[in-house]
Structure 1
């Protein structure tokens, strides 16, 4: 069987779809790709943050790693903010609940 090359964009799309659906085998079947191939893409995305390969050149590699780290840091900050807002909402709702129904 001939080995097919997939673009990084295609790999990212399929990994994103796997995360959304939660069933890697189903996504692989839908795209007519071996489930083992898709599992390896998902694993690589979890380990490195992206399915894109790092460049061979050391300077470019470091630049790409820094970019990925910055992107992950930004996403992490956004998620922390969302969690803090939800915790505040829950605290307010608990306070309202306790004031309306004192025990």
Structure 2
């Protein structure tokens, strides 16, 4: 998957980031793929800042389109997480009510 000695494809970077998130262990993933942990941490930092490891295009118009797309994706994910949180809060409230009942049957 390497392009050159010090350059990796965006797909490879995203695969490594996903693997790190699944395992929760950057050092293990770095050893498995023979990549420096600092490199992976840099990718993780960029992914957190930009929402992607892919750099934004240089052209202004393309850059705006890419940013709009990222904003839409983040907004959609945020809405999904808000709904999930509301469901969990409702479940927690129901469980608390059941605990306070003397005979929940």
TM-score by length of 1: 0.89
Distance in 1 of aligned mates of 2:64 and 2:31: 36
Kindly report the root-mean-square deviation, in angstroms, between the aligned alpha carbons of the 2 structures.
1.6
Gaps of 5+ in 1: none
Gaps of 5+ in 2: none
SS in 2 for 1:56: coil
1:4 corresponds in structure 2 to 6
Q: CA deviation at 1:4?
A: 3.2
Q: CA deviation at 1:100?
A: 2.8
Would you tell me which structure has more strand in proportion to its own residues? 2
Matched length:
101
TM-score by length of 2: 0.88
Q: Note the 1:1-103 alignment, pairs <5 A.
A: 3-100=5-102
Q: CA deviation at 1:62?
A: 0.7
